[in-house]
Structure formats: C-alpha cells, structure tokens
Amino acid sequence: MAELGLLARAAGATVVGSLIQERKRPDPATLIGRGKVEDVARLSEEKGADVLLFDEDLSPAQQRNLEQAVGRKTLDRTQLILDIFARRARSREGRLQVELAQLDYLLPRLTGKGVMLSRLGGGIGTRGPGETKLETDRRRIRQRIRAVRREIDKVRRDRHTRREARQRSETPIVALVGYTNAGKSTLFNALTRAGAAVSDQLFMTLDPLVRRARLGSGRDVLLVDTVGFIQKLPHSLVAAFRATLEEVVEADLMLHVLDASAEDLDQREAAVNVVLEEIGAGKRPRIEVLNKRDEVAPARHGVLLASRPDAVLLSARTGEGLESLAGVLAARLDLVPRTVRLRFDAADARGIAGVYTAGKVVSHEVHGDEVRIRAEIPARFVDRYRGHLC
C-alpha cells in the first residue's frame, strides 16, 4: 500500500485516505465486499476524494460497478502505472511504446458504447492517447495499434543502427537494471559525470540513456541507464518496452542495482528477476550492486554481504565503494590490460591500426617487411591477436 501511495504521488495525486480489505475470494462484481464498498464511499465523501485507486487489477465490470457505487473515477494499479509512464515518456519511441500499452489495455475494456473512452478528460488516469486519435470504435483502435507498431519498428531500426555502431566501437556495454528508485540514475551520473534526472519519484527514468564511463587507465565502458521495474508491472508495458529492453539483453554485463536500505529488498530483487527472465536476460552475466550503503547501519553491512557474497556494497550518493565497483567491472569484463608482443606483416595497415585503437602501443619497430609491436591491450581482446603473438 505504501508503494501504491508512491505511485499515486508520481502520477500527481495526493493520498487522502486508504482502506485495506482481507478477503479469501474477491467479489466478482466489485472486488471488495459490499459492506466495504459502502465504507469506501463514506470515506471518499468525508475526505473529498476525486479518484479511487486499487492496488489489484480490476475487471472492466468491476471498474464500472465501483464507479457507479462510489460515484468516483476508479483506476487500478495497471492504469495508474500506464498513466505515470505516459507523463514521463519523452522520446518518440518511449511515447509510442506507452501509447501501444494504453491501447492494448483499452481494447478489451471497450464496451458497446465506449464508456471507457468517456473518461478521457482532465486529471489523473486520463493521460490517454488523446480523444482525437481515439475513436469509440474497436476497429479504429486496432488500426491505430497497427500503425503504432509500424512506427515503433521504424524507430527501432534506427536505434539498431546506432547500437551496431556502438558495438563496433568495441567498448563493452554495461546496462543498469533494477527496481524503480533503487538509484540507477544516481549511479549512472556518478560513473559518467552525466546529468541524468534523479528523483525520489517512482519511474523517473523511462528512456534509455547511454554515456561513456571512464574507469581509469583507458578502461572505458558504455553505460546504459534504463527504466526501473516494479512488482506487478503491467504485462502490456513489459511487452511494449521489450524493444528498449533489448539494450539490456545485448549488453556485455548488467549491473543489478538494489536499494540495500529497502525492507523488502528480497521481494524487489525477485520482481526484477521475473522481468529479466521475461525479456530473455535472465541468464546474462551480472553484478549485484547494493546501493544506498549510507542508509544502512554498519552492523547490517556484514549480514547483507553474507547473503550476497559477490555483491558490491556502495553509495552512489556519497561515492563510497565506487572504486571497488570499478575494479570488479574491469575484472569481469576482462578490461585489465595485458602486455603483448605482436608481429604484423608491414603491409597489414589495418591490423596495425587496430592495435592502436584497441590499446596502448609501447613500442613499434620495423624490421624489413615485418612490424613488431609491444602493446598493452585489454585482456578481452588478446584472443583476437592470437595469430600475431610472438
């Protein structure tokens, strides 16, 4: 419920009251029991609430019935999250992805008269794709869904080209993943000195951002900041963001950022793992980062590290522990330089130039039609020069 409150705040609402019902079986008509509906109506009246938010998903009928019974606009968790995403998305691709998720959500909820669409107006739960685009007609929505998909494909192809260029640059790609508010953007900024937006609002980051992080002595990585995950993340959103999340799947390494001060650390970690599985990144190499070390009592540090022996405990805010993360990254990515002696045919200008881009050349001697180079190159590239080693 606390998290639902934070989500409400991220959507621009103020929480004026809350009610919890424990029930073995949800009421098919109203989710909560009939008596509880009356309590909700009374409390809403008393507190002057404009909107009702449910942490559980509501069926279209439940939503309608609750609205009628309480006389207030009623949203479920999925709609609320879609709303926040619609507010935050900035890039063309991000906006398209959110629109697609919203349309997917709307389609099965369209009742004959298009009741759902009538809710598109001012206030929260209304950041819809816009009345002008949305007709009350399923067919038109399906057409729009197809058009949005095509648009996304196009934007995606452009991004692909950019990503391929990045991959050719041979700098390893490291993606930050984690629960919303874990501190991914703060860590991103600390490592890249970039100015990514940081806030204690949930889902601050939506569009992936890529910057070079210098880990010292030429050991650079490209760092990708990404959208945060949450428990019960709407399925349509995961699907919509699949394209963006490919950045994660194709990264050389993931940094899973955890808020070490969160009481439900394990649950959040599990929620992130579920999404990573879903996007096919479950088995990709990763390092766990226990962030917000400064918020954790020193006595707990040992406990945290005992259950996650390979994790790096740090504070992105104070910078404490960043050095050791740089070390772990370099080791895991085989970025540690090795000194090698190489031999090239003097005519192999491309091969020789390659060494200069891959590392630091210590000496370069020409002996007849042979060139001998001594260079320090990242361990991950050594294999590539196997035929030239001497």
Q: Return the range that interacts with ligand GTP (CB under 6 A); candidates 133-141, 143-151, 196-204, 210-218.
A: 196-204
Q: How far is the CB of 99 from ligand GTP (least distance, A)?
A: 20
The one among 65, 185, 192, 244 contacting Mg ion by CB under 5 A: 185
For ligand GTP, give the closer residue by CB, 54 or 179. 179
Does the footprint of ligand GTP cover residue 203 (CB under 6 A)?
yes
Q: How far is the CB of 204 from ligand GTP (least distance, A)?
A: 4
Q: How far is the CB of 223 from ligand GTP (least distance, A)?
A: 12
The interface mask with Mg ion, positions 196-235, x = CB under 5 A, is --------xx------------------------------
For ligand GTP, give the closer residue by CB, 44 or 185. 185
Give all strands of the β-sheet with 173-178 in edge-to-edge order.
209-214, 220-225, 173-178, 253-259, 286-291, 312-313
With CB cut-offs between 5 and 8 Å by kind, which of ligand GTP, Mg ion, none does residue 369 bind? none
Instruction: Please give the distance of CA 239 from its chain centroid, rounded to a whole number.
Output: 13
Does the footprint of ligand GTP cover residue 244 (CB under 6 A)?
no
Does the footprint of ligand GTP cover residue 291 (CB under 6 A)?
yes
With CB cut-offs between 5 and 8 Å by kind, which of ligand GTP, Mg ion, none does residue 202 bind? ligand GTP
Q: Which of 179, 167, 300 is nearest to 222 (CA)?
A: 167
Which residues in the 210-229 window bind ligand GTP by CB under 6 A? 228
Does the footprint of ligand GTP cover residue 186 (CB under 6 A)?
yes
Q: How far is the CB of 2 from ligand GTP (least distance, A)?
A: 15
Handedness of CA 86, 87, 88, 91 (dihedral sign): positive
The residues of the shown chain that bind Mg ion, judged by CB under 5 A, are: 184-185, 204-205
Footprint on this chain of ligand GTP (rule: CB under 6 A): 178, 180-186, 198-200, 202-205, 228, 291-292, 294-295, 315-317
